[in-house]
Chains A and B, each alone.
Chain A
């Protein structure tokens, strides 16, 4: 059996297994039969084994450059570097869907293994819901988008991975996003199951909290990697454009972040049950919607979409998820009543609710702006679109409120804050933040940008409140157990990872938004045309175009790309700062009719010149003018094509393969000579090139802030030591006993 047939068989079996999991899970849920529940769980394990085999087969096909696979021929080539060959598997529609199924099956197996002895009434239904997701994606792979379709005529080489995707961040961006999406289906499935069996205490939340946190963690990393790729690869100097595809990943992240905060209220006070169930159901649905949006073409986006047959199944599936979720919450509204009321607006619960409203508000703004073309067309008959200024109008104030609340939330008291509590926790941070802002207003020109200044105030408030909490915690720890300050610090975090991980995440998030505010408000961007020897000035820096560069890059003896670039010397007030080397690579397309010009007719990508620093980034991209070279290239091409045609006409009886070899050698020799001459001419007689020059402050802090945020998330996710876990279990058991007593 060849690997394509084996892959197809795996997918068909995966579909059958997932459908069996749905049936057996529902039956086990209705009858509470443990054997059927175990069988449904094993179906998920089998699904993950089958999806793993299928995914490995596809990866092997990419790594072996097996162009008999249609998807390999379309998305890889012999000149694609090995690491990118592996990543090319998920650059295709079919491969990305298989990645979705594979990750979904792995996470589903993990959660069902961890909960195999718990919530015996809930898990069978959760298994069934997870299998519904599995069956949907397996069905798409079997019927509509098979990665194992083969070609009747196998090409000698493939099209190659889009050069834009040849970036380390792009290798791991999709698996991160998909991990986030698929992990969100876990709490979704358990929420549905808990609602079905009317078991609406916090146990389903406790069982899946880490999965929700992991989903937030991976999805967030995926989003940041996408932003980083955009900044360093796309040649426009930005990291976020409010494009529908970006927004599609942001939506579940925002609602997921809200859920991670509000679930604490349900765990601790038995409140917000309807809200939490609705939030996670919305998050799961948005995760599917995010997957759908990048495939549908229903919205105009920076991403082009191939004609896809997947739209209808996705729309139907999303409609079922939305209707089912709303119906379930409405039907169970009586059992979802809160056990407690909000005691005061000055309490941690109230701040968490405010934080949730802000996050959901941000999600709503993002959703509205993303789908506005469809909404406006439905309402007015004319399709309209809103741009970044519209998004900024709402997201900036909401972002300010969010950062401020992330400073207040961790330190305000539960139930009701007293004046003493407020004084103790907020006076120093408020005064400190005012001092920071006053200093910035005096020392820098921050006063001219009130929104940015507002963000600096809010972020300073977070840094000081969280710093204050850490200082108090370390003091208390040392008073109890002694030891050094670093030792007490580490021990304190280790013993209460969830709390301090959350604090660290808040600091990281505030840092990200400081970077965003500073780089947006104080960026200097300029488009200039320069000849070698000329200088452009921007943001206090001089960018001197020293000389042009050019080179031919080959891989496995074949042309990979032609590169034309520049050497730029950057100085400030006469003092040397950096040398930047931006270039633009031109990738070839296969064409025997245009053997020379085809070298420039493929994709072109910028490699930006970047000098990143803690205070500012110097960023430059070049667009060389190849017009003067085109005449030379066209002339040479005409000559070569003439010789080729002459040879073919002169020797009509020569074997085709022999002729192809001879002509191929000739063309390869001539191409090499022409490229060398193109190289020489570009450097010797360089035309003016277009440059985009950006001086952007504090961009680095966006990436550092993201690392801090997700580091905090990792700490919060990490399992607690045994002793602490035992105490937590004890507390939980006491709470369950209390609830049973009530019942």
Chain B
């Protein structure tokens, strides 16, 4: 094959592969992604059995054996949902801390998926004290 045609063929193959990979990436990300919602949105629109990633502030944390019960509040706003999570909580977990958790609606409560609880680490660049 003449070198110019060979190069074109290679380019076409490479671009096709790249397009296919990018297509797969885009398709799977949209189909595999869990909706990321606030507690108030979760409370108003959750469909039973579907997974949601919810971010909110912890309140009323109670522990019963290895089962954790807590309420997630909106960062800003008044919406909240009750969450039940079975398993140990991360070190920074406590009332007032922001967490991300994947939950499914089960009756009136939201059940956290195993190992999906992420508590935001307060280590990064917190606000300093108010200067003079």
- Measured CB to CB, the residues of A under 8 A from B are 70-71, 73-75, 91-94, 96, 149-152, 155, 159, 162, 164-165, 234-236, 241, 243, 245, 294-295, 300-308, 341-342, 345, 357, 361, 364-365, 368-369, 372-373, 375-376, 379-380, 382-387, 389-390, 393-394, 527, 529, 584, 603-606, 621, 623, 625, 627, 688, 690-692
Cβ contact within 8 Å between A162 and B35: no
In the complex, B124 has a CB within 8 A of chain A: yes
Interface centre among B53, B55, B131 (most CB of A within 10 A): B131
**A303 with B124: in contact, given A70-B131, A150-B132 (CB under 8 Å)?**
yes
Other A-B pairs, 8, CB within 8 Å; known A303-B123, A604-B94: A70-B131, A96-B125, A384-B34, A386-B29, A393-B28, A394-B25, A527-B88, A584-B91
In the complex, B1 has a CB within 8 A of chain A: no
B residues 4-22 in Cβ contact with A at 8 Å: 7, 10, 14, 21-22
| Cβ of B46 to closest chain A Cβ, rounded Å | 13
Complex Cα spacing A605 to B89, Å: 11
Interface centre among B26, B33, B92 (most CB of A within 10 A): B33
In the complex, B40 has a CB within 8 A of chain A: no
Set of chain A residues within 8 Å of B32, measured between Cβ atoms: 386, 389-390
Cβ contact within 8 Å between A234 and B90: yes
Q: 1/0 per residue B50-74: CB within 8 Å of A?
A: 0001010000000101100000000
Which residue of A234, A307, A387 is within 8 Å of B102 (Cβ)?
A387
Which residue of A93, A149, A345 is within 8 Å of B125 (Cβ)?
A93
In the complex, B119 has a CB within 8 A of chain A: yes
| Cβ of B130 to closest chain A Cβ, rounded Å | 7
Cβ contact within 8 Å between B36 and A151: no
Which residue of A74, A304, A379, A605 is within 8 Å of B128 (Cβ)?
A74
**A527 with B28: in contact, given A73-B128, A162-B122, A304-B98 (CB under 8 Å)?**
no
Give me 6 A-to-B residue pairs in the complex whose CB atoms sit less than 8 angstroms apart, sorted by A's number: A94-B128, A295-B124, A364-B25, A376-B33, A385-B53, A394-B25
Set of chain B residues within 8 Å of A386, measured between Cβ atoms: 29, 32-34
**A385 with B34: in contact, given A368-B25, A372-B29, A529-B65 (CB under 8 Å)?**
yes
Chain B, residue nearest A398 (CB): B21
Cβ contact within 8 Å between A295 and B87: no
Chain B, residue nearest A527 (CB): B87
Complex Cα spacing A342 to B11, Å: 12
Which residue of B35, B88, B125 is within 8 Å of A623 (Cβ)?
B88
Cβ contact within 8 Å between B125 and A92: yes
Set of chain B residues within 8 Å of A241, measured between Cβ atoms: 118
Chain A, residue nearest B64 (CB): A627
Which residue of A71, A91, A341, A621 is within 8 Å of B123 (Cβ)?
A91
Cβ contact within 8 Å between B118 and A302: yes
Cβ contact within 8 Å between B36 and A383: yes
Cβ contact within 8 Å between B36 and A300: yes
B residues 110-132 in Cβ contact with A at 8 Å: 115-116, 118-132
Cβ contact within 8 Å between B33 and A385: yes
Set of chain A residues within 8 Å of B116, measured between Cβ atoms: 387
Complex Cα spacing A155 to B128, Å: 13
Interface centre among A92, A300, A382 (most CB of B within 10 A): A300
Complex Cα spacing A245 to B123, Å: 12
Cβ contact within 8 Å between B121 and A304: yes
**A300 with B100: in contact, given A150-B131, A383-B36 (CB under 8 Å)?**
yes
Cβ contact within 8 Å between A235 and B128: no
Cβ contact within 8 Å between B124 and A305: yes
Set of chain B residues within 8 Å of A364, measured between Cβ atoms: 22, 25
Cβ contact within 8 Å between B123 and A162: yes
Cβ contact within 8 Å between B129 and A73: yes
| Cβ of B24 to closest chain A Cβ, rounded Å | 8
Set of chain B residues within 8 Å of A74, measured between Cβ atoms: 126-129
Set of chain A residues within 8 Å of B98, measured between Cβ atoms: 304
**A236 with B33: in contact, given A74-B129, A294-B124 (CB under 8 Å)?**
no
Minimum-distance CB pairs A-B, first 10: A384-B33, A149-B131, A152-B132, A304-B120, A93-B125, A74-B128, A306-B127, A303-B124, A383-B36, A70-B131
Complex Cα spacing A373 to B34, Å: 10
Chain B, residue nearest A528 (CB): B66
Cβ contact within 8 Å between A295 and B129: no
Cβ contact within 8 Å between B29 and A149: no
Complex Cα spacing A166 to B12, Å: 53
**A308 with B125: in contact, given A529-B66, A623-B89 (CB under 8 Å)?**
yes
Complex Cα spacing A309 to B112, Å: 34
Complex Cα spacing A379 to B132, Å: 44
Chain B, residue nearest A146 (CB): B131
Set of chain B residues within 8 Å of A627, measured between Cβ atoms: 63
Cβ contact within 8 Å between B3 and A151: no
Complex Cα spacing A740 to B119, Å: 60
Complex Cα spacing A740 to B102, Å: 62
Set of chain B residues within 8 Å of A384, measured between Cβ atoms: 29-30, 33-36, 53
| Cβ of B52 to closest chain A Cβ, rounded Å | 10
Which residue of B34, B91, B100 is within 8 Å of A605 (Cβ)?
B91
Complex Cα spacing A190 to B78, Å: 52
Set of chain A residues within 8 Å of B43, measured between Cβ atoms: none
Chain A, residue nearest B128 (CB): A74
**A302 with B121: in contact, given A393-B28, A627-B63 (CB under 8 Å)?**
yes
Set of chain B residues within 8 Å of A165, measured between Cβ atoms: 123
| Cβ of B36 to closest chain A Cβ, rounded Å | 4
Which residue of A71, A94, A96, A164 is within 8 Å of B121 (Cβ)?
A164
Which residue of B34, B97, B131 is within 8 Å of A151 (Cβ)?
B131
**A70 with B129: in contact, given A300-B100, A373-B36, A623-B88 (CB under 8 Å)?**
yes
Set of chain A residues within 8 Å of B3, measured between Cβ atoms: 341
Cβ contact within 8 Å between A75 and B121: no
Cβ contact within 8 Å between A164 and B123: yes
Complex Cα spacing A307 to B127, Å: 7
In the complex, B37 has a CB within 8 A of chain A: yes
Interface centre among B65, B119, B122 (most CB of A within 10 A): B122
Set of chain B residues within 8 Å of A369, measured between Cβ atoms: 29
Chain B, residue nearest A525 (CB): B115
Complex Cα spacing A730 to B52, Å: 63
Cβ contact within 8 Å between A93 and B128: yes
Complex Cα spacing A151 to B28, Å: 51
| Cβ of A339 to closest chain B Cβ, rounded Å | 15
Cβ contact within 8 Å between A690 and B88: yes
Chain B, residue nearest A601 (CB): B94
Set of chain B residues within 8 Å of A605, measured between Cβ atoms: 91
Chain A, residue nearest B125 (CB): A93
Which residue of A305, A361, A691 is within 8 Å of B21 (Cβ)?
A361
**A70 with B33: in contact, given A93-B125, A162-B122 (CB under 8 Å)?**
no
Interface centre among B26, B115, B120, B121 (most CB of A within 10 A): B121
Set of chain A residues within 8 Å of B87, measured between Cβ atoms: 527
| Cβ of A670 to closest chain B Cβ, rounded Å | 25
Interface centre among B34, B91, B119 (most CB of A within 10 A): B91
Interface centre among A295, A394, A605, A688 (most CB of B within 10 A): A394
